[in-house]
Amino acid sequence: MTAGTGPYDAIVVGGGHNGLVCAAYLARAGLRVVVLERRGDVGGALAESEPAPGYRAPALAHTVGRLHGRVVRDLRLSDHRLTLIRPEVRVFAPQPDGRSITLWGDPTRTAGDLRALSRKDAEAYPGFDRKVRALASFMAHVQAATPPDLKKLSVADALGGVRLVRAFRRLGSKAGREILRVLPMAVADFVGEAFEIEAVRGALAARGVQYAAMGPWSAGTTAVLLSDSAGNDGGAAGQAVFVQGGPKALADVLLMAARGSGAEVETAAEVASVTTQGGRVTGVALTSGRELTAPIVVSGIDPKRTLLRLVDPVELGPTLGWRASNIRTPGVVAKVNLALERLPRFSSEGGGEPRRLAGRILIAPGIDYLERAFDASKYGRVSEEPYLEVTIPTIADPSERAPQGGHVMSVLVQWAPYHLREGDWDAEREGLGDLVVKTLETYAPGLSDLVVGREVITPLDLEREYGLTEGHPLHGEPGLDQFFAWRPLLGLARYRMPVRGLYLCGSGAHPGGGVTGGPGAGAAREVLLDRKAKR
Protein backbone atom coordinates (compact mmCIF):
# COMPACT_ATOMS: atom_id res chain seq x y z
CA MET A 1 0.00 0.00 0.00
CA THR A 2 1.62 3.29 -1.07
CA ALA A 3 0.14 6.67 -0.24
CA GLY A 4 0.05 9.78 -2.42
CA THR A 5 2.70 12.46 -2.44
CA GLY A 6 1.17 15.03 -0.14
CA PRO A 7 1.39 17.76 0.94
CA TYR A 8 -0.05 16.59 4.22
CA ASP A 9 -1.33 18.43 7.27
CA ALA A 10 -0.20 15.58 9.51
CA ILE A 11 1.91 12.43 9.30
CA VAL A 12 1.24 9.59 11.74
CA VAL A 13 4.25 7.35 12.36
CA GLY A 14 3.18 3.74 13.01
CA GLY A 15 -0.08 2.06 12.10
CA GLY A 16 -0.72 0.44 15.49
CA HIS A 17 -4.30 0.75 16.70
CA ASN A 18 -3.53 4.10 18.36
CA GLY A 19 -1.96 5.50 15.19
CA LEU A 20 -5.06 4.50 13.22
CA VAL A 21 -7.42 5.95 15.83
CA CYS A 22 -5.49 9.23 15.86
CA ALA A 23 -5.44 9.40 12.04
CA ALA A 24 -9.19 8.72 11.85
CA TYR A 25 -9.98 11.56 14.28
CA LEU A 26 -7.67 13.99 12.47
CA ALA A 27 -9.03 13.08 9.04
CA ARG A 28 -12.61 13.44 10.29
CA ALA A 29 -11.70 16.98 11.35
CA GLY A 30 -10.65 17.72 7.75
CA LEU A 31 -6.87 17.29 7.96
CA ARG A 32 -5.01 15.63 5.13
CA VAL A 33 -3.34 12.74 6.97
CA VAL A 34 -1.05 9.87 6.07
CA VAL A 35 -0.17 6.91 8.31
CA LEU A 36 3.23 5.30 7.70
CA GLU A 37 3.62 1.75 8.96
CA ARG A 38 6.90 -0.12 8.93
CA ARG A 39 5.44 -3.65 8.72
CA GLY A 40 3.49 -5.15 5.83
CA ASP A 41 0.26 -4.87 7.80
CA VAL A 42 -1.31 -2.35 10.13
CA GLY A 43 -2.47 -3.09 13.69
CA GLY A 44 0.85 -3.40 15.55
CA ALA A 45 0.15 -5.61 18.58
CA LEU A 46 -3.18 -6.65 17.02
CA ALA A 47 -1.29 -8.89 14.61
CA GLU A 48 -2.31 -12.40 13.70
CA SER A 49 -0.14 -15.48 13.29
CA GLU A 50 -0.33 -19.05 12.06
CA PRO A 51 1.09 -21.47 14.64
CA ALA A 52 0.24 -24.35 12.25
CA PRO A 53 -1.30 -24.54 8.78
CA GLY A 54 -5.03 -23.81 9.00
CA TYR A 55 -4.79 -22.22 12.47
CA ARG A 56 -4.98 -18.46 13.08
CA ALA A 57 -4.03 -17.16 16.51
CA PRO A 58 -3.75 -13.68 18.04
CA ALA A 59 0.01 -13.19 17.62
CA LEU A 60 0.26 -10.83 20.61
CA ALA A 61 -2.80 -9.17 22.24
CA HIS A 62 -5.81 -11.43 22.73
CA THR A 63 -8.47 -9.48 24.65
CA VAL A 64 -9.87 -6.04 23.90
CA GLY A 65 -12.14 -5.27 26.84
CA ARG A 66 -10.39 -1.96 27.53
CA LEU A 67 -11.25 -0.44 24.17
CA HIS A 68 -12.75 2.97 25.01
CA GLY A 69 -16.49 3.09 24.30
CA ARG A 70 -16.10 6.67 23.15
CA VAL A 71 -13.64 5.66 20.42
CA VAL A 72 -16.05 2.93 19.26
CA ARG A 73 -18.91 5.47 19.11
CA ASP A 74 -17.00 8.43 17.64
CA LEU A 75 -15.42 6.38 14.86
CA ARG A 76 -18.63 4.36 14.32
CA LEU A 77 -16.71 1.12 14.50
CA SER A 78 -19.91 -0.94 14.68
CA ASP A 79 -20.85 0.38 11.21
CA HIS A 80 -17.65 -1.28 10.00
CA ARG A 81 -18.87 -4.58 11.46
CA LEU A 82 -16.91 -4.61 14.70
CA THR A 83 -18.44 -7.40 16.77
CA LEU A 84 -17.28 -7.95 20.32
CA ILE A 85 -17.81 -11.25 22.08
CA ARG A 86 -18.26 -11.21 25.86
CA PRO A 87 -18.32 -14.69 27.41
CA GLU A 88 -20.16 -14.94 30.74
CA VAL A 89 -17.00 -16.25 32.39
CA ARG A 90 -14.12 -13.84 33.01
CA VAL A 91 -11.49 -15.97 34.75
CA PHE A 92 -10.88 -19.64 35.40
CA ALA A 93 -7.97 -20.22 37.76
CA PRO A 94 -7.07 -23.89 38.23
CA GLN A 95 -5.19 -24.73 41.42
CA PRO A 96 -2.46 -27.35 41.98
CA ASP A 97 -4.64 -29.12 44.59
CA GLY A 98 -7.45 -29.78 42.11
CA ARG A 99 -9.71 -26.94 43.23
CA SER A 100 -10.44 -23.97 41.00
CA ILE A 101 -11.68 -20.39 41.13
CA THR A 102 -14.19 -19.14 38.57
CA LEU A 103 -14.86 -15.42 38.32
CA TRP A 104 -18.04 -14.73 36.36
CA GLY A 105 -19.26 -11.45 34.89
CA ASP A 106 -22.03 -11.65 37.50
CA PRO A 107 -20.48 -11.05 40.96
CA THR A 108 -23.35 -12.80 42.76
CA ARG A 109 -22.66 -15.96 40.80
CA THR A 110 -18.95 -15.69 41.63
CA ALA A 111 -19.76 -15.27 45.32
CA GLY A 112 -22.00 -18.34 45.11
CA ASP A 113 -19.15 -20.42 43.67
CA LEU A 114 -16.64 -19.07 46.23
CA ARG A 115 -18.85 -20.26 49.10
CA ALA A 116 -17.51 -23.81 48.67
CA LEU A 117 -13.97 -22.53 49.35
CA SER A 118 -14.48 -19.85 51.97
CA ARG A 119 -17.60 -18.32 53.43
CA LYS A 120 -15.65 -15.22 54.36
CA ASP A 121 -14.34 -14.69 50.82
CA ALA A 122 -17.77 -15.39 49.31
CA GLU A 123 -19.29 -12.72 51.54
CA ALA A 124 -16.50 -10.24 50.83
CA TYR A 125 -16.64 -10.60 47.03
CA PRO A 126 -19.73 -8.49 46.10
CA GLY A 127 -18.50 -5.59 48.28
CA PHE A 128 -14.99 -5.81 46.83
CA ASP A 129 -16.45 -5.82 43.30
CA ARG A 130 -18.51 -2.68 44.12
CA LYS A 131 -15.41 -1.01 45.55
CA VAL A 132 -13.29 -1.78 42.46
CA ARG A 133 -16.06 -0.47 40.18
CA ALA A 134 -16.42 2.75 42.20
CA LEU A 135 -12.67 3.46 42.35
CA ALA A 136 -12.17 2.50 38.69
CA SER A 137 -14.96 4.90 37.69
CA PHE A 138 -12.76 7.72 38.97
CA MET A 139 -9.77 6.29 37.10
CA ALA A 140 -11.85 6.52 33.92
CA HIS A 141 -12.05 10.32 34.45
CA VAL A 142 -8.29 10.45 35.02
CA GLN A 143 -7.75 8.51 31.78
CA ALA A 144 -10.03 10.79 29.78
CA ALA A 145 -8.35 14.01 30.99
CA THR A 146 -5.27 15.57 29.43
CA PRO A 147 -2.71 15.88 32.26
CA PRO A 148 -2.20 19.52 33.28
CA ASP A 149 0.79 21.61 32.31
CA LEU A 150 2.28 21.93 35.79
CA LYS A 151 4.63 24.75 34.77
CA LYS A 152 2.03 26.99 33.15
CA LEU A 153 -1.55 26.17 34.14
CA SER A 154 -4.02 27.28 31.46
CA VAL A 155 -7.77 27.91 31.64
CA ALA A 156 -8.28 24.50 29.97
CA ASP A 157 -6.13 22.88 32.66
CA ALA A 158 -8.17 24.59 35.35
CA LEU A 159 -11.43 23.37 33.77
CA GLY A 160 -10.00 19.86 33.46
CA GLY A 161 -8.99 20.05 37.11
CA VAL A 162 -12.50 21.12 38.09
CA ARG A 163 -13.96 18.15 36.19
CA LEU A 164 -11.60 15.77 38.00
CA VAL A 165 -12.42 17.33 41.39
CA ARG A 166 -16.14 16.96 40.63
CA ALA A 167 -15.64 13.29 39.70
CA PHE A 168 -13.64 12.85 42.90
CA ARG A 169 -16.43 14.44 44.97
CA ARG A 170 -19.02 12.22 43.32
CA LEU A 171 -17.15 9.23 44.74
CA GLY A 172 -18.24 10.37 48.22
CA SER A 173 -15.92 10.98 51.13
CA LYS A 174 -15.36 7.28 51.97
CA ALA A 175 -14.41 6.15 48.45
CA GLY A 176 -12.51 9.41 47.94
CA ARG A 177 -10.29 8.67 50.93
CA GLU A 178 -10.05 5.06 49.83
CA ILE A 179 -8.69 5.82 46.36
CA LEU A 180 -6.00 8.08 47.77
CA ARG A 181 -5.06 5.33 50.21
CA VAL A 182 -4.99 2.41 47.77
CA LEU A 183 -3.49 3.88 44.56
CA PRO A 184 0.14 3.60 45.69
CA MET A 185 -0.50 0.28 47.44
CA ALA A 186 0.83 -3.17 46.54
CA VAL A 187 -1.98 -5.20 45.00
CA ALA A 188 -1.13 -8.07 47.39
CA ASP A 189 -2.18 -5.84 50.29
CA PHE A 190 -5.24 -4.53 48.43
CA VAL A 191 -6.70 -8.01 47.88
CA GLY A 192 -5.28 -9.32 51.17
CA GLU A 193 -7.44 -6.86 53.11
CA ALA A 194 -10.59 -8.48 51.73
CA PHE A 195 -9.82 -12.14 51.10
CA GLU A 196 -8.27 -14.96 53.13
CA ILE A 197 -7.70 -17.70 50.52
CA GLU A 198 -4.44 -17.57 48.55
CA ALA A 199 -6.12 -18.91 45.41
CA VAL A 200 -8.66 -16.06 45.43
CA ARG A 201 -5.98 -13.48 46.15
CA GLY A 202 -3.81 -14.72 43.26
CA ALA A 203 -6.66 -14.76 40.76
CA LEU A 204 -7.69 -11.21 41.67
CA ALA A 205 -4.22 -9.68 42.07
CA ALA A 206 -2.84 -10.95 38.75
CA ARG A 207 -4.23 -7.97 36.81
CA GLY A 208 -2.16 -5.63 38.96
CA VAL A 209 1.05 -7.08 37.55
CA GLN A 210 -0.06 -7.67 33.97
CA TYR A 211 2.63 -6.63 31.43
CA ALA A 212 4.63 -5.03 34.27
CA ALA A 213 8.12 -5.54 35.65
CA MET A 214 6.51 -5.57 39.08
CA GLY A 215 5.39 -8.32 41.41
CA PRO A 216 2.27 -8.28 43.58
CA TRP A 217 4.23 -6.81 46.48
CA SER A 218 5.47 -3.88 44.38
CA ALA A 219 4.10 -0.42 45.21
CA GLY A 220 1.62 1.00 42.71
CA THR A 221 0.26 -2.31 41.43
CA THR A 222 -3.20 -1.49 42.77
CA ALA A 223 -3.22 1.51 40.39
CA VAL A 224 -2.47 -0.89 37.51
CA LEU A 225 -5.41 -3.10 38.52
CA LEU A 226 -7.81 -0.17 38.86
CA SER A 227 -6.67 1.31 35.52
CA ASP A 228 -7.50 -2.02 33.88
CA SER A 229 -11.11 -1.76 35.10
CA ALA A 230 -11.47 1.95 34.25
CA GLY A 231 -14.23 2.76 31.81
CA ASN A 232 -15.29 -0.84 31.27
CA ASP A 233 -17.37 -3.53 32.91
CA GLY A 234 -14.30 -5.26 34.41
CA GLY A 235 -15.09 -4.88 38.11
CA ALA A 236 -13.09 -7.14 40.40
CA ALA A 237 -12.88 -9.98 37.89
CA GLY A 238 -11.57 -7.87 35.00
CA GLN A 239 -12.83 -8.16 31.49
CA ALA A 240 -12.58 -10.95 28.93
CA VAL A 241 -13.73 -9.52 25.61
CA PHE A 242 -12.77 -10.89 22.20
CA VAL A 243 -13.14 -9.49 18.72
CA GLN A 244 -15.09 -11.76 16.42
CA GLY A 245 -12.57 -12.89 13.81
CA GLY A 246 -9.62 -12.14 16.14
CA PRO A 247 -7.75 -8.94 17.09
CA LYS A 248 -6.66 -8.47 13.48
CA ALA A 249 -10.36 -7.90 12.67
CA LEU A 250 -10.20 -4.82 14.95
CA ALA A 251 -7.13 -3.57 13.06
CA ASP A 252 -9.04 -4.05 9.78
CA VAL A 253 -12.03 -2.13 11.14
CA LEU A 254 -9.79 0.74 12.31
CA LEU A 255 -8.09 0.78 8.91
CA MET A 256 -11.51 1.10 7.25
CA ALA A 257 -12.51 3.83 9.71
CA ALA A 258 -9.29 5.79 9.05
CA ARG A 259 -9.55 5.40 5.27
CA GLY A 260 -13.29 6.06 5.35
CA SER A 261 -12.53 9.36 7.08
CA GLY A 262 -10.08 10.29 4.33
CA ALA A 263 -6.71 9.24 5.83
CA GLU A 264 -4.14 7.59 3.58
CA VAL A 265 -2.32 4.56 4.95
CA GLU A 266 0.97 3.25 3.65
CA THR A 267 2.59 -0.01 4.79
CA ALA A 268 6.19 -1.18 4.38
CA ALA A 269 7.12 2.45 5.03
CA GLU A 270 9.62 2.74 7.88
CA VAL A 271 10.28 6.20 9.21
CA ALA A 272 14.00 6.80 9.78
CA SER A 273 13.81 10.33 11.16
CA VAL A 274 11.63 13.31 11.87
CA THR A 275 12.91 16.26 9.85
CA THR A 276 13.06 19.67 11.49
CA GLN A 277 14.03 23.24 10.78
CA GLY A 278 14.49 25.96 13.38
CA GLY A 279 13.04 23.83 16.17
CA ARG A 280 9.93 22.96 14.14
CA VAL A 281 8.86 19.73 12.50
CA THR A 282 8.93 19.75 8.70
CA GLY A 283 8.05 16.09 8.00
CA VAL A 284 9.73 12.70 7.99
CA ALA A 285 12.38 10.80 6.06
CA LEU A 286 11.80 7.12 5.32
CA THR A 287 14.48 4.45 5.36
CA SER A 288 13.87 4.17 1.60
CA GLY A 289 15.22 7.72 1.29
CA ARG A 290 11.84 9.25 0.44
CA GLU A 291 10.79 12.41 2.30
CA LEU A 292 7.28 13.54 3.13
CA THR A 293 6.46 16.99 4.43
CA ALA A 294 3.91 18.10 7.00
CA PRO A 295 3.89 20.65 9.83
CA ILE A 296 2.63 18.00 12.25
CA VAL A 297 4.12 14.57 12.97
CA VAL A 298 2.33 12.31 15.45
CA SER A 299 4.34 9.31 16.60
CA GLY A 300 2.54 6.10 17.51
CA ILE A 301 5.79 4.33 18.34
CA ASP A 302 7.20 4.31 21.84
CA PRO A 303 8.46 7.56 23.37
CA LYS A 304 12.02 6.38 23.94
CA ARG A 305 12.36 5.26 20.32
CA THR A 306 10.63 8.41 19.06
CA LEU A 307 12.91 10.78 20.94
CA LEU A 308 16.19 8.88 20.75
CA ARG A 309 15.99 7.39 17.26
CA LEU A 310 13.78 9.67 15.18
CA VAL A 311 14.70 13.11 16.49
CA ASP A 312 18.07 14.75 15.82
CA PRO A 313 19.99 14.69 19.16
CA VAL A 314 21.01 18.30 18.62
CA GLU A 315 17.34 19.28 18.39
CA LEU A 316 16.61 17.28 21.54
CA GLY A 317 19.46 18.68 23.61
CA PRO A 318 21.56 16.78 26.16
CA THR A 319 19.18 17.08 29.12
CA LEU A 320 16.16 15.75 27.30
CA GLY A 321 18.30 13.10 25.61
CA TRP A 322 19.36 11.93 29.07
CA ARG A 323 15.81 12.03 30.43
CA ALA A 324 14.47 10.11 27.42
CA SER A 325 17.12 7.44 27.84
CA ASN A 326 15.84 6.95 31.40
CA ILE A 327 12.24 6.22 30.37
CA ARG A 328 11.73 2.78 31.87
CA THR A 329 10.93 0.04 29.33
CA PRO A 330 11.85 -3.23 31.06
CA GLY A 331 10.03 -5.78 28.86
CA VAL A 332 9.15 -8.97 30.75
CA VAL A 333 6.41 -10.49 28.59
CA ALA A 334 6.67 -13.30 26.06
CA LYS A 335 3.97 -14.97 24.03
CA VAL A 336 3.42 -18.62 23.16
CA ASN A 337 0.73 -19.58 20.65
CA LEU A 338 -0.34 -23.19 20.39
CA ALA A 339 -2.32 -24.96 17.70
CA LEU A 340 -4.29 -27.78 19.34
CA GLU A 341 -5.88 -30.83 17.77
CA ARG A 342 -8.79 -30.54 20.18
CA LEU A 343 -9.87 -28.75 23.34
CA PRO A 344 -7.72 -29.62 26.38
CA ARG A 345 -9.29 -30.67 29.64
CA PHE A 346 -8.11 -29.05 32.87
CA SER A 347 -8.06 -31.58 35.70
CA SER A 348 -9.27 -29.21 38.40
CA GLU A 349 -12.93 -28.77 39.31
CA GLY A 350 -14.95 -27.50 36.33
CA GLY A 351 -11.93 -27.75 34.01
CA GLY A 352 -13.76 -30.05 31.62
CA GLU A 353 -16.52 -27.51 30.94
CA PRO A 354 -15.75 -25.43 27.82
CA ARG A 355 -17.90 -22.52 29.11
CA ARG A 356 -15.48 -22.08 32.06
CA LEU A 357 -12.48 -21.96 29.69
CA ALA A 358 -13.98 -19.30 27.41
CA GLY A 359 -12.50 -16.28 29.25
CA ARG A 360 -8.99 -15.82 30.69
CA ILE A 361 -7.41 -18.90 32.25
CA LEU A 362 -4.90 -17.89 34.90
CA ILE A 363 -1.99 -19.92 36.16
CA ALA A 364 -1.54 -17.71 39.20
CA PRO A 365 -2.30 -19.86 42.23
CA GLY A 366 -1.51 -17.34 44.94
CA ILE A 367 0.46 -14.23 45.76
CA ASP A 368 3.60 -16.16 46.72
CA TYR A 369 3.57 -17.99 43.38
CA LEU A 370 3.36 -14.68 41.51
CA GLU A 371 6.00 -12.97 43.62
CA ARG A 372 8.44 -15.88 43.17
CA ALA A 373 7.86 -15.88 39.41
CA PHE A 374 8.60 -12.13 39.41
CA ASP A 375 11.64 -12.54 41.68
CA ALA A 376 13.44 -14.69 39.12
CA SER A 377 13.19 -11.89 36.53
CA LYS A 378 15.02 -9.47 38.84
CA TYR A 379 18.04 -11.73 38.47
CA GLY A 380 17.66 -12.11 34.70
CA ARG A 381 15.97 -15.52 34.80
CA VAL A 382 12.59 -17.01 33.93
CA SER A 383 10.99 -18.83 36.86
CA GLU A 384 10.47 -22.58 36.53
CA GLU A 385 6.88 -21.76 37.56
CA PRO A 386 5.81 -18.80 35.43
CA TYR A 387 2.61 -16.77 35.59
CA LEU A 388 0.47 -17.49 32.54
CA GLU A 389 -2.61 -15.79 31.15
CA VAL A 390 -4.18 -18.16 28.67
CA THR A 391 -7.10 -17.72 26.30
CA ILE A 392 -8.68 -20.17 23.90
CA PRO A 393 -10.48 -17.71 21.62
CA THR A 394 -11.84 -20.50 19.43
CA ILE A 395 -14.26 -21.51 22.22
CA ALA A 396 -16.20 -18.25 22.11
CA ASP A 397 -15.51 -17.56 18.43
CA PRO A 398 -15.17 -20.67 16.32
CA SER A 399 -15.21 -18.61 13.08
CA GLU A 400 -12.59 -20.08 10.76
CA ARG A 401 -9.65 -20.04 13.12
CA ALA A 402 -8.87 -23.73 13.41
CA PRO A 403 -9.72 -26.85 11.46
CA GLN A 404 -12.82 -28.79 12.56
CA GLY A 405 -12.50 -29.71 16.25
CA GLY A 406 -9.19 -27.89 16.65
CA HIS A 407 -8.45 -24.87 18.86
CA VAL A 408 -5.82 -22.18 19.28
CA MET A 409 -4.36 -21.35 22.67
CA SER A 410 -2.85 -17.94 23.25
CA VAL A 411 -0.50 -17.74 26.24
CA LEU A 412 0.99 -14.60 27.79
CA VAL A 413 4.08 -15.52 29.83
CA GLN A 414 5.53 -13.53 32.73
CA TRP A 415 8.11 -12.81 33.78
CA ALA A 416 10.43 -13.30 30.80
CA PRO A 417 13.05 -10.55 31.14
CA TYR A 418 14.41 -8.91 27.98
CA HIS A 419 17.83 -8.86 29.62
CA LEU A 420 18.73 -12.46 30.41
CA ARG A 421 21.55 -12.96 32.88
CA GLU A 422 22.81 -15.99 30.92
CA GLY A 423 22.32 -16.94 27.28
CA ASP A 424 20.26 -15.03 24.77
CA TRP A 425 16.68 -15.22 23.60
CA ASP A 426 17.47 -16.78 20.23
CA ALA A 427 19.00 -19.71 22.08
CA GLU A 428 16.35 -19.79 24.84
CA ARG A 429 13.25 -19.50 22.63
CA GLU A 430 12.35 -23.21 22.42
CA GLY A 431 13.22 -23.73 26.10
CA LEU A 432 10.60 -21.13 26.98
CA GLY A 433 8.05 -22.89 24.75
CA ASP A 434 8.83 -26.20 26.51
CA LEU A 435 8.48 -24.57 29.93
CA VAL A 436 5.06 -23.16 29.05
CA VAL A 437 3.77 -26.48 27.74
CA LYS A 438 5.21 -28.30 30.78
CA THR A 439 3.54 -25.82 33.15
CA LEU A 440 0.20 -26.17 31.39
CA GLU A 441 0.55 -29.95 31.33
CA THR A 442 0.48 -30.04 35.14
CA TYR A 443 -2.95 -28.37 35.08
CA ALA A 444 -4.26 -29.95 31.86
CA PRO A 445 -2.70 -33.43 31.61
CA GLY A 446 -2.38 -34.62 28.03
CA LEU A 447 -2.17 -31.09 26.60
CA SER A 448 1.29 -31.63 25.11
CA ASP A 449 -0.07 -34.50 22.98
CA LEU A 450 -2.65 -32.13 21.48
CA VAL A 451 -0.09 -29.58 20.25
CA VAL A 452 0.25 -29.67 16.46
CA GLY A 453 2.06 -26.37 16.11
CA ARG A 454 3.81 -23.88 18.37
CA GLU A 455 5.08 -20.35 18.05
CA VAL A 456 7.23 -18.63 20.68
CA ILE A 457 7.60 -14.84 20.63
CA THR A 458 10.30 -13.59 22.99
CA PRO A 459 10.81 -10.03 24.28
CA LEU A 460 13.65 -9.73 21.74
CA ASP A 461 11.22 -10.69 18.94
CA LEU A 462 8.84 -8.02 20.22
CA GLU A 463 11.61 -5.47 19.79
CA ARG A 464 12.87 -6.73 16.44
CA GLU A 465 9.51 -7.50 14.79
CA TYR A 466 7.20 -4.96 16.39
CA GLY A 467 9.59 -2.13 17.20
CA LEU A 468 8.95 -2.23 20.96
CA THR A 469 11.99 -0.95 22.87
CA GLU A 470 13.24 -3.76 25.15
CA GLY A 471 10.08 -5.61 24.13
CA HIS A 472 7.85 -3.59 26.45
CA PRO A 473 4.22 -4.36 25.51
CA LEU A 474 2.96 -1.02 26.83
CA HIS A 475 5.71 1.19 25.30
CA GLY A 476 6.77 2.02 28.87
CA GLU A 477 6.40 0.58 32.35
CA PRO A 478 3.04 1.37 34.02
CA GLY A 479 4.63 2.34 37.36
CA LEU A 480 3.53 5.37 39.38
CA ASP A 481 6.61 7.24 38.14
CA GLN A 482 5.27 6.93 34.56
CA PHE A 483 1.58 7.53 35.29
CA PHE A 484 -0.71 10.48 34.31
CA ALA A 485 1.35 13.72 34.41
CA TRP A 486 4.52 11.59 34.53
CA ARG A 487 3.80 9.56 31.35
CA PRO A 488 6.19 9.28 29.64
CA LEU A 489 8.07 12.09 31.47
CA LEU A 490 7.07 14.91 33.79
CA GLY A 491 6.47 17.95 31.59
CA LEU A 492 5.82 15.86 28.44
CA ALA A 493 2.55 14.16 29.35
CA ARG A 494 0.34 16.34 27.18
CA TYR A 495 1.16 14.50 23.91
CA ARG A 496 3.29 17.47 22.74
CA MET A 497 7.01 16.83 22.46
CA PRO A 498 9.63 19.55 22.85
CA VAL A 499 10.11 19.90 19.09
CA ARG A 500 7.21 22.06 17.88
CA GLY A 501 4.73 20.06 15.78
CA LEU A 502 5.81 16.68 17.19
CA TYR A 503 3.25 14.72 19.21
CA LEU A 504 2.99 11.22 20.75
CA CYS A 505 -0.11 9.05 20.22
CA GLY A 506 0.97 5.53 21.25
CA SER A 507 0.73 3.53 24.44
CA GLY A 508 3.73 5.32 25.96
CA ALA A 509 1.57 8.45 26.20
CA HIS A 510 -1.24 9.06 28.71
CA PRO A 511 -3.43 7.08 29.55
CA GLY A 512 -1.03 4.25 28.72
CA GLY A 513 -1.06 0.82 27.18
CA GLY A 514 -3.57 -1.85 26.36
CA VAL A 515 -5.96 -1.95 23.46
CA THR A 516 -7.82 1.24 24.40
CA GLY A 517 -7.47 3.82 21.64
CA GLY A 518 -7.11 6.34 24.51
CA PRO A 519 -3.68 7.78 23.61
CA GLY A 520 -4.66 8.01 19.92
CA ALA A 521 -7.87 9.89 20.73
CA GLY A 522 -6.14 12.13 23.31
CA ALA A 523 -3.33 13.09 20.93
CA ALA A 524 -5.80 13.93 18.15
CA ARG A 525 -7.75 16.15 20.57
CA GLU A 526 -4.61 18.12 21.50
CA VAL A 527 -3.41 18.44 17.88
CA LEU A 528 -6.78 19.88 16.90
CA LEU A 529 -6.79 22.26 19.89
CA ASP A 530 -3.35 23.58 18.89
CA ARG A 531 -4.49 24.11 15.29
CA LYS A 532 -7.57 25.97 16.50
CA ALA A 533 -5.47 28.16 18.82
CA LYS A 534 -3.17 29.09 15.91
CA ARG A 535 -6.00 30.36 13.71
Report in angstroms how near the CB of residue 113 gets to ligand FAD at its nearest. Answer: 24
Parallel/antiparallel/unpaired status of strands 48-49 and 57-58 = antiparallel
SS3 101: strand
In the chain, the largest separation of any two C-alpha atoms, in whole Å, equals 69
Residue 51 near ligand FAD by CB under 6 A: no
For helices 155-170 and 119-144, the axis angle rounded to 10 degrees is 160
Site string for ligand FAD, 320-359 (x = CB under 6 A): -------------x-x------------------------
- Min CB(507)–ligand FAD separation in Å: 4
Interface residue with ligand FAD among 8, 28, 57, 62 (CB under 6 A) is: 62
> What is the C-alpha separation between 105 and 122, in angstroms, rounded?
15
- Considering only residues 395 to 454 of the shown chain, the ones binding ligand FAD according to CB under 6 A are 412
Compute the CA torsion angle 443, 444, 445, 448 (nearest 10 deg): -120
Residue 476 Cβ, how far from ligand FAD at the closest point, in Å?
Answer: 10
Region of 59-67, 273-281, 430-438, 525-533 interacting with ligand FAD (CB under 6 A):
59-67
Nearest-approach distance from CB 165 to ligand FAD, in angstroms: 29
Tell me if 36 contacts ligand FAD by CB under 6 A: yes
Least separation in angstroms between residue 305's CB and ligand FAD is 7
Figure out which of the listed residues 10, 26, 37, 132 binds ligand FAD, where binding follows CB under 6 A.
37
Cis bond before residue 459 (omega within 30° of 0) = no
Question: According to the binding rule CB under 6 A, does residue 16 interact with ligand FAD?
Answer: yes
Asked if 252 interacts with ligand FAD (CB under 6 A), we say no
Among the listed residues 365, 406, 467, 488, the single contact to ligand FAD using CB under 6 A: 467
**With 0-12 CB in 10 A as exposed, 13-18 as middle and 19+ as buried, what is 363?**
buried
Strand duo 502-504 + 296-299: pairing: parallel
Give yes or no for residue 15 binding ligand FAD (CB under 6 A).
yes
Q: Binding of ligand FAD at residue 94 (CB under 6 A)?
A: no
- Chain CA centroid to CA 482, Å: 15
Can you tell me which of 301, 324, 451, 489 binds ligand FAD, judged by CB under 6 A?
301
**Binding ligand FAD by CB under 6 A: which of 28, 39, 454, 494?**
39
Q: Which residues pair with 337 in a beta bridge?
A: 410, 455
270 binding ligand FAD? (CB under 6 A): yes
Judged by CB, which is closer to ligand FAD: 348, or 458? 458
Give the neighbor-by-neighbor strand order of the sheet with 502-504. Answer: 264-266, 33-36, 10-13, 296-299, 502-504
In DSSP terms, 85 is beta-bridged to 242
Residue closer to ligand FAD by CB (options 94, 478) is 478
From residue 472 to residue 491, the character string flagging contacts with ligand FAD as x (rule: CB under 6 A) and all else as - is: -xxx----------------
Give the ranges where 185-275 is alpha helix by DSSP (H).
187-192, 198-205, 221-228, 247-260
Residue 37 or 129: which CB sits closer to ligand FAD? 37
Please tell me the distance from the alpha carbon of residue 97 to that of residue 287, in angstroms, as a whole number.
Answer: 55
Amino acid at 359: G
Q: Give dist(CA 365, CA 94) in Å, integer.
A: 7
Residues in contact with ligand FAD by CB under 6 A are 13-19, 36-39, 44-45, 60-63, 66, 270-271, 300-301, 333, 335, 412, 462, 466-468, 473-475, 506-507, 513-515
